[in-house]
Amino acid sequence: MSFLGYPRADGRKGIRNVVAVAYLVECAHHVAREIVLPHRDRAHVIGFPGCYPNAYAQRMMERLCTHPNVGAVLLVSLGCESFNRQALERAVRDSGRPVETVVIQQAGGTRSAIAAGRAFVAREAAALDRAPTAEMTLADLVVGTVCGGSDGTSGISGNPAAGRAFDRLVAAGATCIFEETGELIGCEEVMAARAATPDLAGALRASVEKAARYYAELGYGSFAAGNADGGLTTIEEKSMGAYAKSGASPISGLIKPGDIPPRGGLYLMDVVPDGPVRFGFPNISDNAEIVEMMASGAHLTLFVTGRGSVVGSAISPVIKIAANPEMYDRLHEDMDVNAGRIITGAAGLDEVGDEIFDAVAAVAAGQQTKSEDLGHTEFILTYKSFEPIGPACLPA
């Protein structure tokens, strides 16, 4: 199975070729949105809202601006924020991508900055239309998975069906990333049994134990009122459902946001910050998790939902998998796959897993997802802090 992608200087290939318009402080967000407005089909807004970034934010923005689905980058700066725009511009330029920075305070204000930014986007979008392509296979893909708006059906239809698709993708050489450690509490031993090495098994256990300590310090866990309304009873039940989307393949490694998996296989992403609780809830929305997997190179994301979520993502397509058949009937215009057929007995796990696998291949080859067609380009990036992963996390 092969399709055409966009080759990058670092050897990776993209399945989309967008212009990223990146604001470097919330004060520049409006200008970035206005720049993109006439070019929404080719340009996406991403950015960091804080005036004082940390190492995590800097690294994330560098990874996102050099994502394989990004062909050119416009940085939008107010001018007095503390973000190191020179370092970010240098990282993008070194990656071989066209890049330009608009500084609002130097450009003459809002209207002038918007005009300058739109000129850049129009020029680079036209150039991207002429960009060379190269053959890709499933082994070139990085695929993430999240579950959000979960209910009592998520863990018995959508998540295990996504897991079946993951198993097929891993067997084809793809790189697959699942998360999140805060919703895997209680599953650490079954994950450890799937680890490629004993040392990795220890790292997997430690990541979940860290998450449990973090949530205990916060005083609450990753269990929302909507989960309870949808029939979930405990964090253990939610964890088992969330775990199901990892499939049954051996776990090849443990990464943190921004780490690029070195080879194909299945990876757990540890999204809970290291050190003491400083920044609050680890992921304030599902889109934060999608962004972190994108920073690790995810070309697209499988999003399983039972209650119903309509979001997509900037840069990388999102395939929405409906776990609940009644929700699918209401929100079918936003859903790509109806895993609720498993609940009604109209299909089996393997059948829906194959459908998800086929959807991944089709989207990688250029087919638009429902969220892309509807213009969803959600993005959020907040503060976190991580220590580098150790040698046990990526065994040879």
Average pLDDT, the chain: 94
70 and 188 housed in the same domain: no
Residue finishing a domain among 115, 130, 145: 130
DSSP for residue 146: E
Domain presence at residue 6 = no
Read off the pLDDT band of 238 (50, 70, 90).
Answer: low
Q: What pLDDT score does 334 carry?
A: 98
Say if residue 78 is in the same domain as residue 144: no
CATH code assigned at 121: 3.40.1400.10
- Mean pLDDT over 234-250 rounds to 81
In a domain, 208, yes or no: yes
Tell me if 5 is assigned to some domain: no
Span 113-123, pLDDT tens digits: 999 999 999 99
Whether 315 is in a domain gets the answer yes
Asked if the structure places residue 364 within a domain, the reply is yes
Q: Are residues 206 and 314 in the same domain?
A: yes
Do 26 and 104 have their domain in common? yes
Confidence at 224, pLDDT banded by 50, 70, 90: low
220 in the same domain as 96: no
pLDDT, one tens digit per residue, over 150-200 is 788 888 899 999 999 999 999 999 999 999 888 888 889 999 999 999 999
**Average pLDDT of 102-108?**
98
Strand pairing class (265-269; 251-255): parallel
386 and 260 part of one domain: yes
Choose the final residue of a domain: 107, 130, 153: 130
Show the domain range for 85. 18-130
Closest CA to 269 of 395, 150, 184, 360: 184
| Helices and strands (DSSP H and E) totals, the chain | 15, 14
Which of 101, 139, 97, 100 has the alpha carbon at shortest distance from 9?
97
Could you give the CA distance from residue 196 to residue 230 in angstroms, rounded to a whole number?
36
How would residue 231 be classed by pLDDT, with cut points 50, 70 and 90?
Answer: low
CB 107 within 8 A of CB 78: no
Does any domain span residue 7?
no
Bridge pairing between strands 265-269 and 175-178? parallel
pLDDT-above-90 percentage for the chain:
85
Residue 10 lies in a domain: no
CA distance 293 to 302: 11
Q: Is the pTM of this model over 0.85?
A: yes
**Cα–chain-centroid distance for residue 225?**
24
Same domain, residue pair 120 and 143: no
Taking alpha carbons only, the member of 87, 72, 150 closest to residue 117 is 72
Indicate whether 158 and 118 sit together in one domain. no
12 inside domain: no
N-term to C-term CA, the chain: 27
Same domain, 121 and 263: no
Distance CA(79)–CA(109), nearest Å, equals 11
The CA-based angle 49-114-60, given to 5 degrees, is 30
Q: What is the 3-state secondary structure (H, E, C) of 210-228?
A: HHHHHHHHHCCCCCCHHHH
233 and 89 assigned to the same domain: no
Q: Are residues 115 and 177 in the same domain?
A: no
Stretch 291-314: mean pLDDT: 96
Residue 179, preceding peptide bond in cis (omega within 30° of 0): no
Cβ atoms of 34 and 111 closer than 8 Å: no
CA gap 165, 159 in Å, rounded: 10
User: Based on the structure, what is the number of domains in the chain?
Assistant: 2
Q: Do residue 182 and residue 293 come from a single domain?
A: yes
Backbone dihedral region of 234: left (phi > 0), alpha (psi from -120 to 50 degrees) or beta? Answer: beta
- Residue 68 corresponds to which tokens in the numbers above? 């394989």
The pLDDT score that the predictor gives to residue 210 is: 95
Biggest CA-to-CA distance, the chain: 62
Please say which residue of 84, 105, 130 terminates a domain. Answer: 130
pLDDT of res. 151:
82
Alpha carbon of 128 to those of 64, 69, 110: distances in Å? 18, 11, 26
Q: Is 314 exposed, middle or buried (0-12, 13-18, 19+ CB in 10 A)?
A: buried
Instruction: Give the pLDDT mean for 356-360.
Output: 98
Encoded tokens for 27? 């004060």
